[in-house]
């Protein structure tokens, strides 16, 4: 269910986001500042992943989506890519039990066809182990890009049209969304990017249409509870309008 709901939040409503999406950026710069190899930044970044997962679970946030590896990241030095893949595997192996004990439902979004069999197996097992959990839904985007997601959804929709199951003229947003990776989940309410970069970098292009965007200069490995709290306060002070006027939203709120 990823339709826009104008009643979801109002002016200054001290409400928590249902879904937070994060670009975890700045690992390389963090390492460079410390005269360490870039990989040390990725290693340190795992601790921030733990921190944000715990912070979201503690607050009852429903969905957290983390951009761990983009389709374009395959172009990085082969050593760095190899290190990241090993890191994902190790992190999965060491964290999945704890996530399961904490009722976290772990899912992966992305193409993933180019990942090693070992990593794909570990991802599938983690997914299966936590599938019936009812707490935080944690989506890890690996080998993902927003354009890839839109394209793969379009291809699947086109096949339905080819098969005569759907008329091109009647295709609705809902028909399209059912094929997107995050179908069935609410759209992100809050997007966070660390490291001072202010762009979306091919993350959830369709789903971020009405998301509140929060940027912080803090590098991902330096993430703290306070930064997460600041982002949540920023969110609670936004008036979400979804194309309506501020007055309309206020009258809906008081009705």
Answer yes or no whether residue 68 interacts with ligand FPP by CB under 6 A. Answer: yes
Stretch binding ligand FPP (CB under 6 A), from 5-13, 87-95, 143-151, 242-250: 87-95
CB of 188 to ligand FPP, least distance (A): 17
**Near ligand FPP by CB under 6 A: residue from 56, 64, 91, 182:** 91
Pick between residue 27 and residue 126 the one whose CB is nearest to ligand FPP. 27
Nearest to 20 by CA among 138, 188, 198: 188
Answer yes or no whether residue 216 interacts with ligand FPP by CB under 6 A. Answer: no
- CA dihedral 51→52→55→60, nearest 10 degrees, is -150
What is the DSSP annotation of 21-57? EEE---HHHHHHHTT--HHHHHHHHHHHHHHHHHHHH
CB of 90 to ligand FPP, least distance (A): 9
Residue nearest to ligand FPP (CB): 28
Pick between residue 33 and residue 159 the one whose CB is nearest to ligand FPP. 33
CB of 8 to ligand FPP, least distance (A): 28
CB of 185 to ligand FPP, least distance (A): 18
136-175 positions binding ligand FPP, by CB under 6 A: 140
Other beta carbons within 10 Å of 4: 12
**Near ligand FPP by CB under 6 A: residue from 27, 126, 130, 207:** 27
**List of residues 6+ apart from 84 with CB closer than 8 A:** 42, 69, 73
Stretch binding ligand FPP (CB under 6 A), from 38-46, 131-139, 151-159, 229-237: 38-46
- Quick one: residue 89, left, alpha or beta (phi over 0 = left, psi -120 to 50 = alpha)? alpha
Stretch binding ligand FPP (CB under 6 A), from 65-73, 99-107, 128-136, 184-192: 65-73
Tell me the torsion sign for CA atoms 71, 77, 80, 83: positive
Write down the residue that tokens 């306070």 correspond to: 226
**Near ligand FPP by CB under 6 A: residue from 10, 25, 207, 216:** 25
Distance CA 242, CA 247 (A): 13
CB of 93 to ligand FPP, least distance (A): 11
Write down the residue that tokens 């199951």 correspond to: 165
Distance CA 58, CA 60 (A): 6
**Does residue 25 have an active-site annotation?**
yes
**Does residue 202 have an active-site annotation?**
no
Q: Looking at 199-248, which runs of residues are DSSP E strands?
A: 212-215
Q: How far is CA 158 from the centre of its chain?
A: 26
| Interacting residues with ligand FPP (CB under 6 A) | 24-29, 42, 45-46, 49, 66, 68-69, 73, 84, 87-88, 91, 140, 195, 220
Active site residue ranges: 25, 73
């Amino acid at each position: 269910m990823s339709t826009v709901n104008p009643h979801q939040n109002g002016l200054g409503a001290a409400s928590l986001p249902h879904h937070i999406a994060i670009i975890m950026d700045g690992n390389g710069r963090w390492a460079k500042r410390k005269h360490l190899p870039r990989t040390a930044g990725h290693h340190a970044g795992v601790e921030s992943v733990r921190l944000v997962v715990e912070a979201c679970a503690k607050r009852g946030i429903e969905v957290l989506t983390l951009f761990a590896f983009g389709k374009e990241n395959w172009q990085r030095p082969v050593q760095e890519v190899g290190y990241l893949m090993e890191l994902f595997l190790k992190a999965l192996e060491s964290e999945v039990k704890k996530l399961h004990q904490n009722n976290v439902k772990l899912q992966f979004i992305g193409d993933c066809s180019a990942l090693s069999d070992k990593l794909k197996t570990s991802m599938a097992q983690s997914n299966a182990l936590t599938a019936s959990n009812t707490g935080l839904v944690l989506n890890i985007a690996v080998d993902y890009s927003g354009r890839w997601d839109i394209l793969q959804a379009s291809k699947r929709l086109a096949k339905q049209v080819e098969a005569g199951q759907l008329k091109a003229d009647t295709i609705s947003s809902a028909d399209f969304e059912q094929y997107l990776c995050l179908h069935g989940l609410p759209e992100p309410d809050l997007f966070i990017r660390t490291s001072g970069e202010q762009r979306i970098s091919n993350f959830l292009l369709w789903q971020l249409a009405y998301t509140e965007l929060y940027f912080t200069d803090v590098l991902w490995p330096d993430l703290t509870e306070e930064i997460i709290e600041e982002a949540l306060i920023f969110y609670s002070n936004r008036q979400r309008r979804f194309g309506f006027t501020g007055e309309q939203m206020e009258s809906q709120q008081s009705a």
